[in-house]
Amino acid sequence: MTNSQAILNGDRLALARMLTQVENNSQEGRSSLMELFPHTGKAHLIGVTGAPGTGKSSLVNQLALHYRKKEDKRIAIVAVDPSSPFTGGAVLGDRVRMRDLSGDPNVFIRSMASRGSLGGLAQATANMVQVFDAAGFDIIIVETVGAGQSEVDIARLAHTTLVVEAPGLGDDIQAIKAGILEIADILVVNKADRPGVENTEKALKTMLELAHPAERIFKHHGVSMKVEAPKQKQTTNMWIPPIQRAVSTEGVGIPELADAIARHVAHLRLSGDWALRERTRLEVELEALIREGLMNKFKEEMKAEAYETMLESVIQRKVSPWEAAAVLMNGRQS
């Protein structure tokens, strides 16, 4: 039996092995991904993001527990830690989570750190999600620490994006929210037993009014290549991101959050946005693969000495990087 078949049959060890292969971007990983691909497209992908200190991890834990106990769903969690490009900084998170969710065969938690290369993390995460999707997990939660490009990538990957906030996190939080809000499908004010929760909620409401969700989906599509955007059914009912309070350490607000997520899924199905997000996600992935393929081909065909000589000229400011890139790209063809 191949590794892919074992995964389709629910073999946990095969799954763990393949996740490692995929994270390392190995040849076996690639082959298995291709075999598994026809079995993907069924899972609900939930992205969870927000600034440090908002209690994201405990929220994700509680949400996973809820889905296990109340809805009997199979849950996968991918905890992405892009702040750790060099070491495996996500290990701690694993240990903390273990206490609540370990031993349950229908929960699979995987932490990963950045591979150090721009774009590599998003690609590796997308691949892991595909493996979990094919393996029959109903809900896949992708959680990221920090605020930045990785959040945008999550928004592209997820069907439902949760942005987590908490009261009293310092002064430049406000600046962050403005951008992050626009990728949110649901806003969670966690640690809602803390003082200042009303202010946080009020600030979020004001900012929500400033954001223009109507434009979002189309900007979502901004990575499309030189093709016309597909004709989509007009979205009849707009989704206004709800604000949900929670105290995740005590499980408060979790059922209500799960309800809001269910309403969002219903909205996506009804409006046709589910299909649109699927398309965008696959388009982003296809483009990333083409980029990578083109670069690999270039490197294979490139003479190391020619590259090194050109780089030396750039360092000495004799040739600009733009000219160097043009010369190297043309040289490859002749």
Query: Among the candidate windows 7-15, 16-24, 65-73, 278-286, which touches a copy of itself by CB under 8 A?
Result: 278-286
User: Pattern 240-269, binding to a copy of itself, x per CB under 8 A?
Assistant: ------------------------------
**185 interacts with a copy of itself by CB under 8 A:** no
Nearest to 59 by CA among 118, 144, 159, 152: 144
With residues binned 3-state (H G I as helix, E B as strand, rest as coil), the percentages for the chain, rounded to 5, are 55, 15, 30
- Report, in Å, the least distance between residue 71 CB and a copy of itself: 26
Pick between residue 106 and residue 224 the one whose CB is nearest to a copy of itself: 224
**In the bound complex, what is the minimum distance in angstroms from residue 304's beta carbon to a copy of itself?**
5
Q: Does 95 bind a copy of itself (CB under 8 A)?
A: no
Binding residue for a copy of itself, selected from 170, 209, 231, 238, defined by CB under 8 A: 170
**Residue 230 beta carbon to a copy of itself: minimum distance, rounded to whole angstroms:** 8
Bridge partner list, 201 = none
Residues of this chain, 120-159, that bind a copy of itself according to CB under 8 A = 121-122, 144-153
CB of 323 to a copy of itself, least distance (A): 7
Backbone angles phi, psi at 186, to 5 degrees: -140, 135
As a whole number of angstroms, the distance between CA 284 and CA 144 comes to 19
CB 187 within 8 A of CB 50: no
Smaller CB distance to a copy of itself: residue 87 or 234? 87
Minimum distance from CB of 321 to a copy of itself (Å)?
A: 5
Select from 11-19, 165-173, 231-239, 253-261 the region that touches a copy of itself (CB under 8 A).
165-173
Measure the CA–CA gap between 80 and 142, rounded to whole angstroms: 7
Give 239's DSSP letter.
Answer: P
Nearer to a copy of itself, 114 or 271 (CB): 114
Rounded least distance, CB 87 to a copy of itself, Å: 6
Q: Which is nearer to a copy of itself, 10 or 88 (CB)?
A: 88
- How many residues bind a copy of itself, per CB under 8 A? 102
13 vs 91, beta carbon nearer a copy of itself: 91
In terms of DSSP bridges, do strands 75-81 and 139-144 run parallel, antiparallel, or are they unpaired? parallel
Q: Give me the helix-helix angle, 273-301 and 149-157, nearest 10°.
A: 120
Residue 302 interacting with a copy of itself (CB under 8 A): yes
The whole-angstrom separation of Cα 331 and Cα 128 is: 37
Positive or negative CA dihedral for 105, 111, 115, 121?
positive
- Dist CA 4 CA 14 (whole Å): 8
Among 41, 95, 255, 270, binds a copy of itself (CB under 8 A): 41
Nearest approach in angstroms of CB 59 to a copy of itself is 11
What burial letters (b/e) apply to 67-95, b meaning 16+ CB within 10 Å?
bbeeeebbbbbbbbbbebeeeebbeebee
Binding mask 50-69 for a copy of itself (x = CB under 8 A): -xxxxxxx------------
